Amino acid sequence: MKRTHRSTFKCWAFGLMILLMCAGSAGAMTISMTGLPSKAEVLGQVSFDVILDTGPGLTGVTLLSVGVLFADAQLGYRQDLSTTSSAILQGPGAKSAYMRPSPTCGGTPGLPGCSLWVGSTNQVNVDFISTDLIGGTDYPSDSPELLATLVFDVISVGDGFAEIELTLKAPGNVIGLAGGATWTSDLIGGGGVAVPEPTTALLVAAGLVGLGFSRRRA
């Protein structure tokens, strides 16, 4: 009898564990990079969107900072062309708490996008702060939400592949919840962009641009 009860308990516990694991995975937060091209030419540009999906039921977010790391020898960040959403996780109620971009991330039409992390040449932090830093957000995302669109100039071939990736482990990165707890997220997309050797036409164009610049200086 004891063996039967023990076996039944083990089966029940194992089943509960699997159920919890599935539930946690189905409701996991994701931050993704979308629209990144597979290839780009020198003198061209690459851009992509950073998208948030909190999953169902997650509220109480107070801080959100996700890093974008890039190969700065091959890519030059264009803060002036990049943009940030003015509000995310905003519910229907006029008084509901939501998240807005930090002062380093613009968020207002006409203002530049997120700045480089202080002292860094290869890290952009996409930062949002809740309008209620005590209780955090009142609503989860009911669909994926745009955080920011980042734009880069392709300035060099380098080794032929310019790396770009999302991170939550770089300086300043955090997902903070009410009460001081922290959260994590699955990061999707990124990797990098192939940068082939410039074609003859591009080399001629670059030479003409350089010649024009020299004449202006002269």
Residue 64, both tokens = 């959100």
pLDDT band, very low/low/confident/very high, at 92 (cuts 50, 70, 90): confident
- Secondary structure of residue 69 in the 3-state scheme: strand
Within 13 Å and on the Cβ side, how many CA atoms surround 49? Answer: 10
pLDDT at 5: 47
Rounded to whole angstroms, the Cα distance separating 132 from 98 reads 8
Nearest Cα to 124, choosing from 113, 140, 109, 139? 113
| Model confidence at 217: pLDDT above 90 | no
What average pLDDT does this structure show over 176-194? 96
Binned at pLDDT 50, 70 and 90, residue 17 comes out as: very low
How far is 38 from 47, CA to CA, in rounded Å? 11
Helix (H) or strand (E) holding 204: helix 200-217
pLDDT digits (tens, 9 = 90+) for 103-115: 999 888 778 999 9
What average pLDDT does range 85-92 have in this prediction? 92
State mean pLDDT over 90-103. 91
What whole-number distance in Å separates Cα of residue 174 and Cα of residue 127?
9
pLDDT at 26: 42
Q: Which of 136, 143, 153 is nearest to 193 (CA)?
A: 153
DSSP string across 152-198: EEE---TTSEEEEEEESSSTT-EEEEGGG-B---EEES-EEEE-PPP
Q: Residue 30 corresponds to which tokens in the numbers above?
A: 């994701």
Q: What is the mean pLDDT of residues 50-59?
A: 94
Residue 213 pLDDT: 47
> How far apart (Å, rounded) are the C-alpha atoms in residues 154 and 37?
12
pLDDT band at 206 (very low <50, low <70, confident <90, very high): low
| DSSP string for 100-147 | EE-GGG--STTS--PPBPTT-SSEEEEEEEES-TTT--S---SS-EEE
**Tell me, what's the pLDDT at 210?**
52
Q: What is the arithmetic mean of pLDDT over 159-185?
A: 97
Q: Which domains does the chain have, with CATH numbers?
A: 24-207 (2.60.40.680)
